[in-house]
Every structure is written in structure tokens, then in C-alpha cells.
Amino acid sequence: MCTFFFSFPRVSSADKKVTNEILVLGSSRVIQGNMAAAKSEAISSAMRKAIEEYLILRFGESGMINNFERMVKEIVPASSEEIESFHILAENLSGSDYQILVKVKVNTEVLDEKLRFSGIAVEEAPQSRILFMVSELRGGSLQYWWKGPDFYSVMNQTEVLLYSIFQERGFIPINHTFGIGDRALSQDMKSEDITDADALKWGSMLSADFVVIGKSVLQDDTGATLRLRVLSVKDGLILAEGSEAEQRSAGEETDEGKRELLEKAARKLADKLIPSVLYLGKGTAPGIQHIQVTVQGLRSYRDFKDLQEFLKKDVPGVTTVRQSRMGRGLLTLDVAFAGSEDELLHRLLNQGKLPVRLVLQSATETEINLLVSQ
């Protein structure tokens, strides 16, 4: 698969040195003379501060602003998992106030994996080129640029918003408005409901790494609906797909209100899609693997069959699916997959066509155990 990274302005090493060893203060209050609890709380405080300081040093102001919500929700709260070691250098007790000076060593390998999974880049690498092919239905009029590239190359409002949002996240959006010419385009490549295969031809022709195809529907009486799918040009795989809808409320009848509604849907959907694309698009699959997938809690025979069909038809990289065990509410399948267990798991759980809602129980390199969520 194609690899892409989001790059952010780094703090100059002349200003601050980015190191995985951070010196921080931890503090707490001693309650009812319980020093052990106070010390534990102060250490936890120091670990959290160390992760915060490390992230700020590493990503700088712009990187922190662009990823702030994911940083505070997904990265900072799990700070204990991201600490390799810590050493208390000094302690001070003043009344009930307890402070410690701690040298904390950040486990960059664990932290990098969490950052990648959240869609935040860690490597310095060339940015990836992305092409938007998103039609827009507004007031009964459908706009899409690829129906006649010489005449309809101007981006619609949805594509303008996506262009800006993805550019903020480190992508290089392809500007197709300079005129493409006919270039022996087939009629299928100009179709309103363009297929993945023809969209990939556009991506290849315009030297894209990824193609985003989809449709937005803007209606005065309801609001905005946006559906997107992201394809890897190199591998021809669906890396992520999803939809987002925003309902209109009073005051959003204006053009500016509609634009804000659409932007809200686009930003929410980008936040959903980008982590999966980054995670699944980071490397080429290592060959066919046989992975045992067990699902518990299935409620009917139809659930069994739907899940098997879903794996066969809708999960990119799956070559064969063979039933190896079936019991009351339980199904075990031997899945031949062009990739790792991690890639299969994330492709499976991030497909919008999943017939039942599943949650992960456990996983190894050769086994995945899932439970139907009630």
C-alpha cells in the first residue's frame, strides 16, 4: 500500500531539544496523613505532564492545534502506558502539599503506535497526494467535475471544503482546475456514478496516492449528508469509508449557515476516515496469512451467513473464507488474508457494511476473537 504521513511544523532544535527524557514537577495533597496515596497521585500527575510536554516539544503549536482533540482524548489519558521509566529526584512536603521532581522517560515506540492509530503522523516523509472526486447535489442540480474536465473542472463547495480540511492535516490535494483535456477518456470515466476502477484510473492519470470518491446532498429542509470512500491508487483497495449527516436548525437557511453545516459534516467524517487510512495505508501487505476469526453472540442463522458473505465480498484483502466451527451463537472462520492480523481487524471493523456490530475481545498474530455488541 501507499504510505502517507501528516507533517507538522516542528519546534526548532535551537529553541527546544526534543528528547524522550522529560523533567517535570508532580504535585498532590496529603489527605488524612496518607502519604502513599499522595505520592501515587503526584507520580501520575508527573507522567501526564511529561507526555504533554513531550507532545508539545515534538509537534509544536501548529501540530498541537490541528490534533488537539485527539491528543487530549486518546493520547494523554493513557500516559502510564507510554512511560518507559521514571526516577524521583527530589521531594518536598509543605503542610498538606506534596511535590516531587521527576525525570520521566517516554516510551516513544508505544507512543508512536498510538499516534499512528489516531491518525497523527510521527515520521518525516513526503506528503501524499490526494484527489477528490465528490459530486454535490444542491437544489436539484448535480455538480461533478469529471463529466467534462475541460468545462466543469471548477471544484464544487464540498470539494473546496475537503481540499482545505485535508490540506490542514498534511495531505497535498491535487488541483485539477488547470484543465485536463480529453486524454482518451472513456465514457465510464465521465459517469456520475463512477466506479472504483474508473476513479483509480483518474488517480493514476493525475499521479495521486489516494482518491476520495463520494457524494454530498444539500437540502434546505433537512440539512447536509456526506458519503466518502478512500481508495489506494497503488493497491486498488478501499482503505476507509463512511457517512456523516448534519440536520438543519433555525438560522441555518442562509448560504453561510449551509456552508457551516456542510463543513461540520466534512470535518467529522475526515476525523473518522483519516486514522484508518493512515494505519492501513502505511505499508504493503506481507503476503497471504491464515487467520482464525471467532465471533460469539450471533443471534440467528442469517447473522452467520451475512457475516460470511461480508468477509468474502466487502473486506479488501480477503481471498478465501472457510467455516471451521459453528455452535450456538458462535462461528469460527479460517480467513486467508493478504496482510497481517492488525490490518484484517481494522479493515473488518471499519467497513460501513458490517452486518452486525462487533467489539474486539482479544487478538494474536493468528487469531481474532470478536463479540456481537447488543
**How far is CA 209 from each of CA 161, 236, 282, 319, rounded to the nearest angstrom?**
20, 10, 12, 24
d(CA 194, CA 133): 9
Same domain, 82 and 133: no
Same domain, 258 and 179: yes
d(CA 147, CA 151): 9
Same domain, 134 and 276: yes
| 175-217 pLDDT tens trace | 776 555 555 678 888 888 999 999 999 988 888 889 999 999 9
> Residue 27's pLDDT is what?
92
> Residue 343's pLDDT is what?
76
Same domain, 308 and 175: no
**Which of 221, 245, 280 is a domain's end point?**
280
> Residue 281's pLDDT is what?
60
d(CA 156, CA 136): 7
Same domain, 185 and 318: no
- CB atoms under 10 Å from CB of 200, counted, come to 22
- Contacts of residue 224, defined as CB under 8 A and 6 or more positions apart, other chains included, come to 216, 217, 218, 245, 246, 248, 258, 261, 262, 264, 265
Same domain, 59 and 29: yes
> Residue 125's pLDDT is what?
42
Q: Domain of 221: which CATH number?
A: 3.40.50.10070
Boundaries of domain holding 86 = 21-117
Same domain, 275 and 294: no
Same domain, 86 and 134: no
Q: Is the pTM of this model over 0.85?
A: no
The C-alpha cell 481474532 sits at 368
Q: Domain of 36: which CATH number?
A: 3.10.129.140
Same domain, 43 and 72: yes
* Spans of the chain, pLDDT less than 50: 1-16, 124-126, 151, 283-286
d(CA 330, CA 107): 38
> Residue 17's pLDDT is what?
58
Amino acid in position 239: L
Q: Domain of 314: which CATH number?
A: 3.30.70
Number of folded domains that form the chain? 3
